[in-house]
Structure 1
Amino acid sequence: MATAAALLFATTSGVAFAQDDPAEPPRTGVIGVLYADKDRNGEQDSGEAISGGEVTLVGPDSAVHKTTSDADGKFAFAGLAPGTYKPSYALAGGWVVHHAKPEGDVVTVTENTTTELVARAERPYSEQLRVFGFFHDNTYFYPTSVTTTLILINTTDRPISGIQARCDRKNAPGALGRGPRWDVLSGEGITLAAGGRRTLTIVDDVPESARTTGKVTLDCDFAPNAGWNTDGPVLHEDAPVIEGRGKHTMILGEDRNANSLIDADEAISGAKVLLHDTTNPASVIEGTSGPDGKIEFIGLEKTDYRAEVRAPWSFASDGPQLVRVADHGGSSVRFLKPVPPADVRATVTFSKPRFESHETVQWDLTLTNVGGESTGVWVQGDSPDMDIPGEQWEHHWRRFTTLAPGETRTFTVAGKIRDYRNGKVIVSGSYGYSDQPHTPRKPFRAEVEIVQTEGALTGLVYLDKNNNGQPDPGEAAAGAVVEANGGAPYGYHKATTDADGRYSFNGLPAGGYSVGYTLAGGWIVHVPGDVVQKIRVEPGRPAQLVAGAQRPYAEVLKATVQFDRTSYAVGDEVKITVRLTNRGGYVINGVHALCNRDRQTNNLGGRHFLADSWGDLRPSTKGVTVGPGETVTLVVTEVVPYEARKRNRVELLCEFAPQAEFGRDFASAYDWANVPGGRPGSANVLVAYDKDEDYVIDPGDAIGNVRVRLMSHRENGFLVAEATTDVWGWARFTGVPAGSYWAEVDGPWKFRNQNASAVWISDDVAWPVFWMVPGPDPAQPGAGDQPATGGASNGGTKVALARTGAGVLGLAVLGVLLLTAGTALRRWPRHSALSETERVGVLSGRLADACGGSDVGRHDHRGVFGGSVAG
């Protein structure tokens, strides 16, 4: 039997006809199989047969024969007359049988012969290719040319070859896409690698027929063998064509030999010329000279234009440069001469020859362009000796100023003195050219004489015991330490309040000061927006401060955060109930929340900003007010981040106080929940003694044959996994539950920095280096911390969770719970408003929720876990 393949991707082997053949195939006819090559491997696999596909054969006498494929994708045509037939297919779901030959696919039928046909269907080329294209101009004036950019992208994971473009199938007037300039997309076409892209730029002349249609068009479809395969992506672009305007050719050169000609070496390339319509000032045509010095201005109105050439060139002759555009266009020769570039000079002038140290220093910065061309100028100030208001910097420095040749601009700046040295204050900065970004910036600097002046600062510190906001008898804060930093020149000053709570600083250098307070008994002076008070000291009347101390927010304000569930999946919404209770006797205004200070990726509360759902708790808002004895409850929502799955838990740690983002006195709140599904992780730990402290592992630095243990808590944790270092100092851990651990190393060693013994385990590989120094041999873990005989081992890592005789599943849950509980306690801040007992209660409740299926009741978990959690 003769065999013909509709697409030459497969043969009629057992792959194509894996099903049972018909009992009696037709003698003179065609049998075939139709399949969808879903995995694009070029052959039929199980499940790829196409049922119900319509197959059509058109014979030599134009007779049409149709049939439909069966459940196995098979079809047959019997009793066909000998001759050549053209097959076609109509398939559901967008599947297409593509033609593999430029002339189209045919099937030859001979007498008493059954021809086999394999029809491989694939996704249409419109899904495999993406094509973008655009004209470079919006409007064209006849005669001219059109530049088109095409971008072809292969979106599949396999190469596509022979990609062609078939343009202007309708032979429309004014259409592009034909001719030799498009040969790259005809014939053999182009090939795109898997995921590859190709950019083409094609230049066409605007067809003469576009003059009558008034537009130029591009209509193309793209596919391999685009003459037969018409299912590829389609591109359409058009633009108006305007006729009846003028044209002018300008030739530019530098007549260096003064022969009134532009010789071959005198043509000027890259010169920019503007034509200004004398009847319409808003109309400007721009052109740039080519290598031969020519500029062709096309589409000009028939009127007079004024020519302007941009730097670094100017017209060699003085006077106006006019261009007259007539019906048939014209040309002109223009001689140019170079002009010097922009050259901006800066000078600083002070408003007086000297200033007293408490005065406002005013100075002018003058910029003058002494060059021959215009330029944009930016200025940046850098005057650390002065306090210059921000609006001055915004107004003067961060804007671009254009300076024409010979033009001058002056900026006035004023500010208080922050510091000075050697009896002088310095103002400085730099400037540069905005249209010449690669030109080095230029500095400016000036100094002026300063005469020292002095003043005094007095104040009162009291304990606002009755919370009325004013000092009362018996509230004087004796023995409080007052620290004042500032002045010009800068200095540090310290005083202690007397029995009446008063203090004074005399002979202070004039200037701005920051004042801080340290009181006994935990009393704190709360200053909105900062941790210190600010005041200015000047000659004459002493500056005065009154500071009322209150009990710390960590003591007065109680804060809790509580999740609505004990377990979540990544992407779940977490409803968080926030409760703020004022246990003091005064109103607390403007309470903000600062969450996730350490920017942990598995924590809620944002890594930089709180979500909108936090409302007035966000630092950018007015804050929340909590009255004496009042509890304010808010419900906010967050989404569990992906990183929580890596660490098996999602956490929230927040600090609450008026303007918590600035202060160091706050109430803390914490909650966490399980996020199951995190895969065990690995760690490759290097243990070394860096004798020369260069943070380089030199020969002999590695510590071999020592045991490294991963503990659930630094002080009171249990053993999770252990491994022994090899001769190169490496200890390798695998199959460790996700979480945070603290390492211990056997032998006469201790960590150079104890805080550097932490290890995070996730579904990635951690590579910590433990720098050790000689020290006492740490106590060995107790028997309860040792892995049970026959305990689990994974790649040299002994996983020490199974040691109580309980079931493996229960122990795994218990291990994760204890790890999480230990982490929560370890991260609890010192200033938390919860007592140790309250923390244990919260965590015990969470453990109980997570172990809801246990035989131990919720209220019994405190007894079961209390010791470990409290520890």
Structure 2
Amino acid sequence: MNRAALRFGVLTAVAVLALGITSAAAFAQDDPQQGGVTGVLYADKDRNGEQDSGEAISGGEVTLVGPDSAVHKTTSDADGKFAFAGLAPGTYKPSYALAGGWVVHHAKADGDLITVAEHATTDVVVRAERPYSEQLKVTWAAFDHYLYRHPSSVTTSVTLRNTTDRAISGIQARCDRKNAPGALGHGRGWDVLSGAGVTLAAGEWRSFTIVEEIPEAARAAGKVTLDCDFAPNAGWNTDGPVLHADAQVIPGNGNHTMVVGEDRNGDSRIDADEAVSGVKVVLYDWNNHFGSVEGTSGPDGKVEFTGLEKTNYRAQTRGPWMFAGEVQHVRAADQGGTSHRVVKYVKPADIRAEVKFAKPSFKSHETVQWDLVLTNVGGMDTWVRPSGYFPDLQIPDEQLTGVSVPAGESRTISFSGKIRNYRNGKVTVSGSIDYFDEQNPPVHKQFYGEVDIEQSKGSVSGVVYLDKNHNGRPDPGEAAADAVVEANGGAPYNYYKATTDAEGRYSFNELPTGAYSIGFTLAGGWIVHFPDDVVQHVQVEAGKSVQLVTGAQRPYAEVLKATVQFDKTAYAVGEEVKITVKLTNRGGYVINGVHALCNRNQGDNHLGDRVNPSESWGDLRWHAKGVTVNPGETVTLVVTERVPEAARVANRVELLCEIAPRAEFNRDFAPAYDWANVPGGGNGDVMALVAHDKDGDHVMDPGDVVPHARVRLMSDREHGFLVAEAVGDVWGWVRFTDVPAGMYWATVDGPWKIVEQYRTVGVRAGGSGLYYIGVEPDPGAVQPGDGVQPAGGGTSTGGTKVALARTGASVLGLAFLGALLVAAGAALRRWPASRQS
């Protein structure tokens, strides 16, 4: 006997309701002519298809409409139970009104009707779930045009995405529920989303392109529409995502004949001998819906336009012939129409460009001002667009604006910019102009100019100190001696270097004027922090000295400890990850404006977005005010992210953050890293040849291979964990088998270092790969047996050790002490005792 039968004490089976887990039974009634319905209503929160503790729905309104159209209503109790007694035998249509957005979905086309028999009570278990609008998303939909003529067809593109962690079957489209005139959604192209429907796996998306003829009714309505909703059994389930699109429809086609010619005798007519052939005429749709239509006059001066939309057009010629009158208009009609237009010959546009500087020479610290003078010596008006690259001057893009130049006139575009660089005592400007001459393709011409520059100079001096007491000013005993100060910039651009004296002072004399970036390198790990960048920016002016006072602090990585910790060890794609972020101030001063810059390298399987972090990161986002951490304080924040699709391929989801005040600018930060398993990507094999190309000829000579090398595959070059390791054979081949799919960093033990600093090895699910790992001697490299051991301890002497253990303790601190061996599809389990705060 099933759970429902035990719950209600039912004796014999009568009917089954296809709503989640169902059952049916019967027992004797006081009135032999009547029956009843009893049931339980629950919200399947974990989507396992069964009622679990805490899932009962209380207060749910249950309605039955009987065969005689009588309506029966009741409400579920605290245990989700409900009952109807004294029902006449027959078929009843149920409906449910539930709080919190929960919905009972119909699994069958008849709406899962309930049959009540004589002398029996039908028992049902009613499963509610989240609406399909939360499980499915219509991520993009559009028509191929925003205006159509009738008759024609519409091409529609629709993309459906399953946002859950389980498959959804039988997805259908139900369109035009309101029977709107001119509505789409009834054509054969929708067959794929009808009948058995479409199945989408967890996280899967599919796009559909549907071509459908515009209905006749759309012509009269002046509009074609598409309104659809999507759900399994969409005829009964109406809570899926919706799609709406519409476009204007105009009727029929029209024609027009234009006769063009010269009115040489001035009689306001075009005589036979005045017709002009070869005149190109363009009709522009007045509303700009359909672009343009072009035609050329024949020997009789006629230009025939057919198949036009029945709308207003603006007529324009392409030179050298132009209409003699004002703006010309044309109306296309069913029966066609004829118009006569007088034209005249006009010389094409011809632009001359000249560069004129505001004065004969400039000081190197001055703003250079110059004009681009454009003169039209042709006979047609035209629009001129300048472009150029100005390496010597700082010219904002907004100064490169276009201008209309009428025939016989000049126009000036003014430019100004600080000097960035110059050579041989001159600043040069060069670029090009583009314009139309109404007859040929766009005309492209060059312009060039140069002006003399007189060098002007200034100076920069300052003091560097170690701000040991964090008061923001230099005190006795805080001078930073032997600090390296570097200056880059000026006009012309150059590099300068100085070293501080015993009092921390330095100076740069006779510096060319201009903008400079100043950087500082100090011994003992001291770092200069800037509010907005990794360097200090100064402007050196003629005859002036810039004075700088620069304080250095201890690295943020010393005073700020940061950790990120996931709430689980394994996730499914699309599942929410709860991340606990902890910031601890181990210093003696307040740390303000702490930001988290995550996923700097934009890994597809990583959480965090360095450009547009989610709102859950709060004040840790780069554009927010930042987090304040007082001395000795630990600040805890909780952030939520969802596992990306790419984590399935990589077999893991990761989060790597750089945390510091203004972390988006500073390269001094406290790193924080965590990861979890995402099963489903599959495993693969890969082989790598380890060799030392002694003579650098890119040929494997005898003795070049490195036998018995131990190679490790790491999830990240600096902050990652050990994925797998193997020892090569006597011929230098290292074989990795049954390794989770993904891209990994390679490291080599022993007195070697990899020649390619960023050597990666890719493992493809179900496949095999071949790689070459070039090495060279490095006495300081990790020796065999040192460093991180594979899971389970010990040293491998052959084969592959697949570990997926954490490493990088020197950077991140000891955050994890062990991991279980990961076999295909096995879930990772974190040892709770191994976590360190």
Is TM more than 0.5 here?
yes
Which of 273, 281, 284 is 1:271 aligned to?
281
2:118 corresponds to 1:148: no
The question of whether the paired residues in 2 share the 8 Å contact of 1:563 and 1:576 is answered with yes
Which of 289, 292, 307 is 2:295 aligned to?
289
Q: Matches of 1:154 and 1:600 in 2, distance apart?
A: 28
Q: 1:705 deviation in Å?
A: 11
- Which one-letter code corresponds to 1:711 in the other structure? R
Give deviations 1:112-157, integer Å, cap 9, x for gaps.
Answer: xxxxxxxxxxxxxxxxxx999999766xxxxxxx6635769999xx
Pair 770,611 (structure 1): closer, same or farther in 2 beyond 3 Å? same
The question of whether the paired residues in 1 share the 8 Å contact of 2:514 and 2:541 is answered with yes
Give deviations 1:827-864, integer Å, cap 9, x for gaps.
Answer: x64xx5xxxxxx22x212887999x99999854x69xx
User: Structure 1 stretch 510-519 or stretch 466-475: which is displaced more?
Assistant: 466-475
2:816 corresponds to 1:843: yes
User: Structure 1 stretch 749-758 or stretch 326-335: which is displaced more?
Assistant: 326-335
Unaligned runs of 5+ in 2: 1-107, 111-140, 160-180, 182-206, 226-245, 265-269
The question of whether the paired residues in 2 share the 8 Å contact of 1:710 and 1:741 is answered with no
Q: Matches of 1:273 and 1:730 in 2, distance apart?
A: 71
Q: Matches of 1:750 and 1:198 in 2, distance apart?
A: 59
Which of 623, 626, 631 is 1:623 aligned to?
626
Which residue in the other structure is 1:427 paired with?
429
Q: 1:346 deviation in Å?
A: 2.4
- Which one-letter code corresponds to 1:289 in the other structure? G
- Which one-letter code corresponds to 2:662 in the other structure? Q
Q: Matches of 1:252 and 1:410 in 2, distance apart?
A: 37
- Which one-letter code corresponds to 1:636 in the other structure? V
Q: Matches of 1:315 and 1:718 in 2, distance apart?
A: 74
Which residue in the other structure is 1:563 paired with?
566
- Which one-letter code corresponds to 1:409 in the other structure? R
Which residue in the other structure is 1:105 paired with?
none
Pair 454,775 (structure 1): closer, same or farther in 2 beyond 3 Å? closer
Pair 631,758 (structure 1): closer, same or farther in 2 beyond 3 Å? same
Give me the CA root mean square deviation. Answer: 5.9
Give deviations 1:311-337, integer Å, cap 9, x for gaps.
Answer: 224348x56698999999964554646
Q: 1:539 deviation in Å?
A: 2.7
- Which one-letter code corresponds to 2:368 in the other structure? V
Q: 1:410 deviation in Å?
A: 2.0
Q: Matches of 1:701 and 1:215 in 2, distance apart?
A: 83
Q: 1:651 deviation in Å?
A: 1.9
Considering fraction of residues, name the structure with more helix: 1
2:258 corresponds to 1:250: yes
The within-5 A match list for 1:99-118 is none
The question of whether the paired residues in 2 share the 8 Å contact of 1:786 and 1:800 is answered with no
Pair 643,853 (structure 1): closer, same or farther in 2 beyond 3 Å? closer
The question of whether the paired residues in 1 share the 8 Å contact of 2:690 and 2:706 is answered with no
Q: Matches of 1:253 and 1:644 in 2, distance apart?
A: 70
Which of 601, 605, 610 is 2:608 aligned to?
605
Which of 788, 791, 805 is 1:820 aligned to?
805
User: Structure 1 stretch 608-617 or stretch 686-695: which is displaced more?
Assistant: 686-695
Q: 1:343 deviation in Å?
A: 3.5
- Which one-letter code corresponds to 1:422 in the other structure? N
Match of 2:448, SS?
strand
Q: Matches of 2:332 and 2:567 in 1, distance apart?
A: 81
Which residue in the other structure is 1:362 paired with?
369
Q: Matches of 1:493 and 1:776 in 2, distance apart?
A: 34
Which of 547, 551, 562 is 2:554 aligned to?
551
Pair 640,773 (structure 1): closer, same or farther in 2 beyond 3 Å? closer
Which residue in the other structure is 2:316 paired with?
309
Pair 733,439 (structure 1): closer, same or farther in 2 beyond 3 Å? farther
Pair 718,854 (structure 1): closer, same or farther in 2 beyond 3 Å? closer
TM-score normalised by L of structure 2: 0.59
Q: Matches of 1:418 and 1:237 in 2, distance apart?
A: 52
Which of 577, 581, 588 is 1:574 aligned to?
577
Give deviations 1:144-189, integer Å, cap 9, x for gaps.
Answer: xx6635769999xxxxxxxxxxxxxxxx9xxxxxxxxxxxxxxxxx
Match of 1:449, SS?
strand
- Which one-letter code corresponds to 1:414 in the other structure? S
Pair 538,400 (structure 1): closer, same or farther in 2 beyond 3 Å? closer
2:360 corresponds to 1:353: yes
Q: Matches of 1:513 and 1:596 in 2, distance apart?
A: 31
The question of whether the paired residues in 1 share the 8 Å contact of 2:745 and 2:761 is answered with yes
2:660 corresponds to 1:667: no
Match of 2:805, SS?
helix
Which residue in the other structure is 1:498 paired with?
501
Which residue in the other structure is 2:712 paired with?
711
Q: Matches of 1:289 and 1:855 in 2, distance apart?
A: 74
- Paired residues in the alignment total 611
Pair 628,381 (structure 1): closer, same or farther in 2 beyond 3 Å? farther
The within-5 A match list for 1:727-806 is 733-738=736-741, 740=744, 742=746, 753=755, 755=757, 758-763=760-765, 765=767, 767-772=769-774, 799-801=799-801
Identity %: 46
Pair 848,557 (structure 1): closer, same or farther in 2 beyond 3 Å? farther
Give deviations 1:365-410, integer Å, cap 9, x for gaps.
Answer: 223343444444333342222234xxx422x22x544444344332
Pair 550,798 (structure 1): closer, same or farther in 2 beyond 3 Å? closer
Give deviations 1:70-121, integer Å, cap 9, x for gaps.
Answer: xxxxxxxxxxxxxxxxxxxxxx969xxxxxxxxxxxxxxxxxxxxxxxxxxx
The question of whether the paired residues in 2 share the 8 Å contact of 1:135 and 1:148 is answered with no
The question of whether the paired residues in 2 share the 8 Å contact of 1:566 and 1:849 is answered with no
The within-5 A match list for 1:427-446 is 427-433=429-435, 439=442, 441-446=444-449
Q: 1:288 deviation in Å?
A: 3.9
The question of whether the paired residues in 2 share the 8 Å contact of 1:131 and 1:153 is answered with yes
Structure having the higher Rg: 1
Pair 509,857 (structure 1): closer, same or farther in 2 beyond 3 Å? closer
- Which one-letter code corresponds to 1:843 in the other structure? F
Pair 577,441 (structure 1): closer, same or farther in 2 beyond 3 Å? farther
